[in-house]
């Protein structure tokens, strides 16, 4: 017997042709030409050393050897297909996201994986906001370019720990006396919000952080007051880990967006992950 590799594509062509006993219909199902079907079957016959079909005027008829071999090949091919399909459904989706998006992203991923245990996301966090996928299947971006699918706009408001509120009245004077937590190494976010509210406050006590997530965590610990994106802190507000003492909000012009691999390069279930992340909050929180 030949030691050449077993031609799996030819086995599939044989199984389909044996079902139809007609080259035209087999070619239609396989989306190839009749000639290509004939060549695949011929290659398998060469490998086996015997004929699989008898050709006659009305079409094809399995040879005795072909009839005897068919059930085993059908079972083996189905087993290979089932194993591959099982592995395919458990494929890992590689997602890159900025650390500042974690407060919004992680609850959504937890909820999704509870609904779909076969969907696994390998999450990599970064402080790099570049728009390249590199070796990832999808990436959440933060910035002003708006490349890809828009998720939500950044909109800031001050937040503090409930213990610092003391009363329902939180005045401009009380704000000025607090430690200001900055989600960046400069003061631009706070200055943007204060300007939108027509407040003139000297920022006397300040702490600067590398990301908004770190500033929010410090605010939860009662370290001071920070400005934070209302979407990122939605769960913190709902769980009363933070309170928003002012109703005023300001859009920064930045937004969170999502880029992904094209469909022909995408792993299984990437479409479902993208739809879940892009869904309104009431759906995504389910």
pLDDT tens, N- to C-terminus, the chain (286 residues): 446 777 888 999 999 999 999 988 888 888 888 999 999 999 999 999 999 999 887 789 999 999 999 999 999 888 887 776 666 555 689 999 988 888 999 999 999 989 988 888 999 988 766 666 778 899 998 888 767 899 999 999 999 999 888 766 788 888 999 999 999 889 999 999 999 999 999 899 999 998 889 999 999 999 999 999 999 999 999 999 999 999 999 999 999 999 998 888 888 889 999 999 998 765 333 3
CA distances from 263 to 94, 123, 135, 267, 270 (A): 15, 20, 16, 8, 9
Half-sphere exposure of 183 (CA within 13 A, CB side): 26
Question: In this structure, what DSSP letter does residue 266 have?
Answer: P
Phi, psi of 81 (to 5 degrees): -60, -45
Cβ-proximal residues to 114 (8 Å cutoff; 6+ apart), any chain: none
Residue listed under structure tokens 């003061």? 187
Q: What is the pLDDT of residue 41?
A: 93
Domain borders along the chain are: 8-89, 92-150+257-284, 152-254
Is domain 92-150+257-284 in CATH 3.40.190.10, yes or no?
Answer: yes
Q: What is the pLDDT of residue 185?
A: 87
- CATH fold for domain 8-89: Arc Repressor Mutant, subunit A (1.10.10)
CA distance linking residue 8 with residue 54, whole number of Å: 22
Using alpha carbons only, how large is the chain's radius of gyration in Å?
Answer: 30
Q: What is the pLDDT of residue 91?
A: 66
Q: What is the pLDDT of residue 4?
A: 72
Same fold, 8-89 and 152-254: no
- CATH fold for domain 152-254: D-Maltodextrin-Binding Protein; domain 2 (3.40.190)
DSSP string, 95-145: EEEEGGGHHHHHHHHHHHHHH-TT-EEEEEEES------TT-SEEEEEESS
* Cα separation of the two ends of the chain: 59
CA distance linking residue 93 with residue 111, whole number of Å: 16
By C-alpha distance, which of 53, 69, 64, 67 is closest to 21? 53
Region at 60 (left for phi over 0; alpha for psi -120 to 50; beta for the rest): beta
Q: What is the pLDDT of residue 1?
A: 42
């Amino acid at each position: 017997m030949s030691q050449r590799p077993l031609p799996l594509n030819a086995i599939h062509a044989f199984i389909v042709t044996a079902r139809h006993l007609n080259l035209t219909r087999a070619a239609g199902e396989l989306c190839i030409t009749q000639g290509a079907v004939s060549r695949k079957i011929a290659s398998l016959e060469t490998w086996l050393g015997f004929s699989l079909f008898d050709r006659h005027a009305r079409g094809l008829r399995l040879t005795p050897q072909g009839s005897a071999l068919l059930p085993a090949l059908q079972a083996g091919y189905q087993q290979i297909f089932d194993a591959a399909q099982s592995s395919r459904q458990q494929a890992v989706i590689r997602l890159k996201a900025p650390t500042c998006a974690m407060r919004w992203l992680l609850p959504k991923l937890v909820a999704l994986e509870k609904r779909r245990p076969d969907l696994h996301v390998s999450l990599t966090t970064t402080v790099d906001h570049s728009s390249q996928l590199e070796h990832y299947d999808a990436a959440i971006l933060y910035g002003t370019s708006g490349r890809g699918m828009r998720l939500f706009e950044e909109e800031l408001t001050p937040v503090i720990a409930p213990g610092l509120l003391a009363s329902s009245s939180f005045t401009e004077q009380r704000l000025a006396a607090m430690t200001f937590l900055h989600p960046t190494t400069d003061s631009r976010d706070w200055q943007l919000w204060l300007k939108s509210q027509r407040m003139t406050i000297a920022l006397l006590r300040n702490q600067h952080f590398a990301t908004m997530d770190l500033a929010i965590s410090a605010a939860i610990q009662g370290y001071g007051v920070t400005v934070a994106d209302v979407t990122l802190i939605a769960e913190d507000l709902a769980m009363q880990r933070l309170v928003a003492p002012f109703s005023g909000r300001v859009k920064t012009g930045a937004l969170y967006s999502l880029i992904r691999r094209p469909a022909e390069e995408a792993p299984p279930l990437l479409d479902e992950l993208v739809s879940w992340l892009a869904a309104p909050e009431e759906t995504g929180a389910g």
